[in-house]
Amino acid sequence: MADSPMADQPDVSFDPDRYDAVLFDLDGVLTPTVEVHKKAWRQLFTGYFAEHGITPPYSDADYFAHVDGRPRYEGVRECLASRDVHLPEGDPTDEPGTPTVCGLGNLKDAEVNRILATEGVQPYLGSVAWLDALIAGGTKVAVVSSSRNTRTVLAAARLADRFEVVVDGVRAAAEQLPGKPRPDTYVQAARDLGVPVERAVVVEDAVSGAAAGRAGGFGLVVGVDRGVGRDALLEAGADLVVSDLAELM
């Protein structure tokens, strides 16, 4: 596919015989937890911007531009920088709400956990159908997510038993793996599965994730349009875009 945006869907399809592994992002791909995260980010920045007189007000456009797909603290840093606001980095042990990048990130994390505990999460039916079909056909699978809540979400969605390989925000921090749009976490997942990147598929709903798949030289990058827009995913690096993963069955 060309590097420029494409008006029409490229003539690319998923052929299971060409690939040995499929690497899934979590939020927005397997589970609708992107809405949980959007709600938590909105609550964090709407309140913080209003309290400190920061303009313009936070909007969902900020989520897609500065937060979507990024590690949590990077999302805080990027969104604040978009308003020319720069806080001390702080430490991951900062109490939620501490006026540091980590403190604000931890406040957002606390809200995500509250929502998950009270409301739960149901996976996308089409995603689970395709996932189970892949597993039944012998394709290896992994989850690659910048979220530190990945294992909590997988357990809440009853998907944990399907994935032996999980590269999440906790592991990325421990192993100093750069987050998306760098490809390192996806490359590590492929390595864990024993599959070369050219025989692996990346599935992403975020622009930063699609860019990571492109940068890593993966055999196929599938975009799932949950709101960011098909053209944006194609421009970032997706080879094809679907609205539901059941379309690939």
Instruction: Indicate the pTM of the whole model.
Output: 0.76
Q: Give the per-residue pLDDT at 101.
A: 98
What is the domain range of residue 105?
35-119
Domain boundary residue among 77, 97, 119? 119
Are 215 and 196 within one domain? yes
| Segments in 29-167 forming alpha helices (H) | 33-52, 60-62, 72-81, 101-119, 125-136, 150-156
Q: Check which CATH number belongs to the domain holding 184 and give it.
A: 3.40.50.1000
Catalytic sites, residue numbers: 25, 27
* Tokens linked to 60: 């969902």
Are 40 and 26 within one domain? no
Q: What CA–CA distance (Å, rounded) separates 86 from 246? A: 43
Domain boundary residue among 69, 88, 119? 119
Q: Give the per-residue pLDDT at 69.
A: 77
Are 28 and 126 within one domain? yes
Q: How far is CA 159 from the centre of its chain?
A: 16
Are 147 and 214 within one domain? yes
Are 137 and 57 within one domain? no
Q: What CA–CA distance (Å, rounded) separates 142 from 24? A: 6
Per residue in 69-114, pLDDT (tens digit) is: 788 999 999 999 999 999 999 999 999 999 999 999 999 999 988 8
Please count the structural domains in the chain. 2
Q: Check which CATH number belongs to the domain holding 79 and give it.
A: 1.10.150
7 in any annotated domain: no
Sheet order of strands, 200-204 included:
165-167, 140-144, 21-24, 200-204, 220-224, 240-242
Domain boundary residue among 119, 149, 178? 119
- What is the pLDDT tens value at each position of the chain, 249 positions in all? 434 344 455 567 899 999 999 999 998 999 998 788 899 999 999 999 999 999 999 998 999 899 987 889 999 999 999 999 999 999 999 999 999 999 999 999 999 888 888 887 899 999 999 999 999 999 999 999 988 889 989 998 999 999 999 999 999 999 999 999 999 999 999 999 999 999 999 999 999 999 999 999 999 999 999 989 999 999 999 999 999 999 999
47 in any annotated domain: yes
Q: Give the per-residue pLDDT at 4.
A: 39
